[in-house]
Every structure is written in structure tokens, then in C-alpha cells.
Amino acid sequence: MSNRYDDVAYELPDFGKGVLRALESAGYEAWVVGGWVRDALRGAPSHDVDVTTSAHWQDAERVLSAAGYEVHRTGTAHGTITAVADGEPVEVTTYRVEGDYSDHRHPDEVRFVDDIRLDLARRDFTVNAIAYHPERGILDPFDGRGDLRRGVIRAVGDPRRRFEEDALRVLRAVRFACRLGFDIEPATQRALVECADGLDDIASERIGQEMDAMVRTGRIGWALMAEPEVLGVAIPELRAMRGFDQRSPYHVYDVLEHTAHVCRAVEEFTGGMASPELRWAALLHDVAKPVTFTVGPDGRGHFFGHPKVGAPMCEKIMRRLALPSDLVASTRTLVRLHDHYVKPTMRSVRRTLLKFDNACPGRAEALTFALLDLKRADAVSKVWSAASYAVELDKVTLVLRKAIAEHEVFRMGDLAVSGRDVMEATGIDPGPGVGMILRELLLSVVNGDLPNDREVLLRSLRP
């Protein structure tokens, strides 16, 4: 496997080769571009194949259809069609250059050209402006391979112009740096900070897509410290956290620094496999601290009720970014419960599972494990003496595993009685009252006041 970036480390899939052959057999030039080339040069597998060609999209459509490919018109205003090859979509785009971007997102004009170098020159970053052909090899007019070796994200041409053309590239630069573990080249870094306010012109859902992809890399902690100006435009609530002195003997960092440490720590505790909701909860768990801050008579800072205030703030942020509802619900609940004290007892663990099942049905076990990882990360991101709490959380984890293995009761469906049993025992008619009684029974079992025994539960219902 190559690690010198002189050639791709993986062979182009046959479905990609077939599209290239069809276009070139008809007399057109074609290259593979984009993420497949970048990742193959890094020695990382990638499945998506994008092709750029000298054929105008109408000609490409005609040629590929004649070759037996199913073809869809997915972006013909920009010269793009999609060919389905062996069940895999291959985007095929005509070489093009672009005019001004008056809305900071879409080109006012697209002009098709015959020179691939002109097409590569309009791309965002050098690592994405490399073309590959299985016979002609690598075409790299902007030294993208050199930037891969150096581990940097650098804009193609004038970085300020690149970001003014499309403000979303500001977030894309940070996302690529997160995903690849790269730094951002100094001139590119200066330009993206200067142009970050252009994100105000970008639709919230597009910002949400970039932020979600960034969070899912597991390196959002790095981004918070390296790019606070950029992330503060994407999520304005983060701005108040920067430099906010907690004035607490339990903290050695300001709120944003603490948050960055928590984001890094959840990756350590999960082996880099943190769930999306855990990563988002790490980012937003203390978002309400600036608005709940008070100072006691002794001069110490307090944040009374910040989890309760932070939960709806978290939901508002994530819904503004148009993130999936299930992700929002689970993240909100983790934020709400991140200071919830869980004891290493079966009763405490059952009560915690019940809270998660009420908020996110069917996800209680996974979210309780996530909560313990969030609490561990929070503990080790404070003063050294606070880190000892992580040891107690290991004891809680053992109890949680035992609770799951022994099928401890925390869901309505776990009860030894049903709604029909309740109606027969009490004589009440079907309706909300049945559910209320079942919930009371469940709470009694979870709290250890009653065993989950059918006869005992029924007896408790009789006068």
C-alpha cells in the first residue's frame, strides 16, 4: 500500500472504469476526481466515484445510455448527471468554470470548458483538486499530494475568494481538517476567519449538515479550540462560553475549554466510537452555564439548574440546524440528565433507565451507557480531585450491566401485569386511567416498593 502519495493505494472499482471507458470510447476525455482520489492517495478506502469529462452533459447522457447505463439528470444546470453502474451511482460532470457567487452559495453563471485544469482550478481545496486516470495516472496542478503529505487544508488559489464564493466552504475546511486530522494552512486560516460571517447567508439546514458531519468525526474538541470564531457563527450560543470564567474550585478551565476537554474525553472513554448523541451532548451539555451563572456570598460561581435550562436550549439549537428528531431527543435527554446523580445501586440504575425510556422509548440501555461516559468525561475535565468520581461510575457501570443481564424492570412491557389485568382487578373501563395505574405500578417496582410478581401487583390494586 502506498504511503508516499505518488499513486493511489486502491484500484479504481470496475464500475468506475466502465464509465470512463464508455466516455473515452466515444472520443471524450474523462477523469476520476474528488473524494475517491483523495482517500485512495491516503491509503483509505472510499466507495463513491465521481467523474469529470469534456463531454457536455447531453452528450454524456447519450453515450452512457447507449452503453447500457441507467442515467438520471441530477444537476444538469451544473452539467451533472448520475449513471448507475453495477448498482452504484457515479456522478458525471462536464468540465466547468463558474462566475460570481452573489448569494455566497451558488454561482450566478456556469460555463462549460474543454480543459480539466480549468475545472480543477475552481474547486475548494487542493486535496480535492486532484484528478486520476487508471492509465494516465495523477493530475495534480495545485500540489494536493504535497498538502496530503504535510497534513494541511489549503484553498485552491486565493483563499478569500474561495470563501467569498461559497461561505459554506468555511465549515467544509474545518470539517475536512477534523476528518483528516489536518491543520489549516495559515493563509487559508486567516481567510476563513475573516469570511466566517458569510455563514449568516447560508441556510440553517446546510450549516447543520456540516456541523453534524464535523461532530461525527470525533474531533469537535479540536475544532472548538482551533476554530472558535467559525463555530461561534455556526452556533452563536457557543460564543458566550468562550472565556467564561466559572469561578469554581471544581473547574480549571473556562466553559468552552472545559467543553472541548469533555468532547475529547468521550472519545477516549469510548475508544473513538462515541455515538452521535453522546458527541452532540458533550458539545452542548454546558450551553446554559452563561445564562444561569450566579455568584454566591463567598464569591464562588454557581450554575443552578443549568441542565434543566440547557435541555431546551440544546433542542432549539439542533432543531434550528434541522437535525433528525431522534438525535435531538436523545441529545436533549443526555444534556438534561448529565448532572443526574446515579448511585451504584440497582434501584438508582433502574430509575435512570426509566427516565431514559420515558424520554426515548427503546433506547434506555444505550443512552444510560452514554450518560455514564458523558459523566466520566465531565469529571476528568475538571480539577484533578473531581476525577475520582469516574471510579465510582465504573461501579455504576457494573450494576447497569447486571441490570440488563438480569432483565430488571424499567419499562411498562416488563411488568408482570397488563392493562386487561388492571381493568379486571379494579373494574375500571378502558381509558387513560389504566395507563396511570400501570405507571404507578411500574414506579413502585422500579423503586423496589413492590416485587414484579403478578399476584402481589394485583393484590395491591384491590381494596
Q: Do residues 180 and 151 touch, judged by C-beta distance below 8 A?
A: yes
Query: Which is it for strands 30-33 and 96-98: parallel, antiparallel or unpaired?
Result: unpaired
Question: pLDDT tens digit string along 391-420?
Answer: 889 999 999 999 999 999 999 999 999 999
* Host H or E run for residue 33: strand 30-33
Q: At 1, is the pLDDT very low, low, confident or very high (cuts 50, 70, 90)?
A: very low
Which grid cell is 357?
A: 425510556
Question: pLDDT tens digit string along 410-461?
Answer: 999 999 999 999 998 888 889 999 999 999 999 999 999 999 999 999 999 8
Residue 321 pLDDT greater than 70, yes or no: yes
* Host H or E run for residue 22: helix 14-25
Predicted local distance difference test score (pLDDT) of residue 177: 97
Q: CA 197 to CA 191: how far, in whole Å?
A: 11
Question: pLDDT tens digit string along 263-285?
Answer: 999 999 999 999 999 999 999 99
Predicted local distance difference test score (pLDDT) of residue 2: 39
Predicted local distance difference test score (pLDDT) of residue 370: 98
Least confident of 55-64, 67-76, 93-102, 199-208: 93-102
Predicted local distance difference test score (pLDDT) of residue 391: 85
Please spell the DSSP secondary structure of 210-265, one letter per residue. Answer: HHHHHHHTT-HHHHHHH-HHHHHHHSGGGGGGTT-----TT-SS-HHHHHHHHHHH
Mean pLDDT of the 322-336 span: 98
Distances (CA, A) of 198 to 158, 188, 193, 234: 17, 15, 10, 10
Predicted local distance difference test score (pLDDT) of residue 105: 53
Cβ-Cβ contacts under 8 Å for 210 (sequence gap 6 or more): 168, 171, 172, 175, 234
Q: CA 140 to CA 129: how far, in whole Å?
A: 7
Which grid cell is 428?
A: 375500571
Mean pLDDT of the 125-149 span: 96
Q: CA 259 to CA 271: how far, in whole Å?
A: 19
Question: pLDDT tens digit string along 251-261?
Answer: 888 999 999 99
Predicted local distance difference test score (pLDDT) of residue 278: 98
Mean pLDDT of the 314-343 span: 97
Where do the domains of the chain lie, and which CATH numbers do they carry? 14-149 (3.30.460.10), 203-405 (1.10.3210), 412-461 (1.10.246.80)
Q: Angle, nearest 10°, between helix axes 432-446 and 454-461?
A: 120
Q: At 100, is the pLDDT very low, low, confident or very high (cuts 50, 70, 90)?
A: low
Mean pLDDT of the 196-209 span: 95
Q: CA 159 to CA 123: how far, in whole Å?
A: 11
Predicted local distance difference test score (pLDDT) of residue 387: 79
Residue 193 pLDDT greater than 70, yes or no: yes
Mean pLDDT of the 341-347 span: 95
**Helices and strands (H and E) in the chain: how many:** 22, 13
Least confident of 44-53, 97-106, 314-323: 97-106
Predicted local distance difference test score (pLDDT) of residue 174: 98
Mean pLDDT of the 145-153 span: 96
Mean pLDDT of the 47-56 span: 94
Predicted local distance difference test score (pLDDT) of residue 36: 94
Q: CA 92 to CA 89: how far, in whole Å?
A: 9
Tell me 125's DSSP state.
B
Q: What's phi and psi for 3, nearest 5 deg?
A: -130, 15
Q: Do residues 70 and 29 touch, judged by C-beta distance below 8 A?
A: no
Q: Do residues 35 and 50 touch, judged by C-beta distance below 8 A?
A: yes
CA angle 27/30/35 to nearest 5° reads: 170
365, 346, 316, 287: which is closest to 355 by C-alpha?
Answer: 365
Predicted local distance difference test score (pLDDT) of residue 113: 92
Mean pLDDT of the 222-246 span: 96
% the chain with pLDDT above 90: 85
* Host H or E run for residue 434: helix 432-446
Residue 108 pLDDT greater than 90, yes or no: no
- Strand, coil or helix: what is 302? strand
The mean of the pLDDT values for the chain is 93
Least confident of 3-7, 37-41, 58-62, 294-298: 3-7
Least confident of 29-33, 256-260, 298-302, 386-390: 386-390
Predicted local distance difference test score (pLDDT) of residue 137: 93
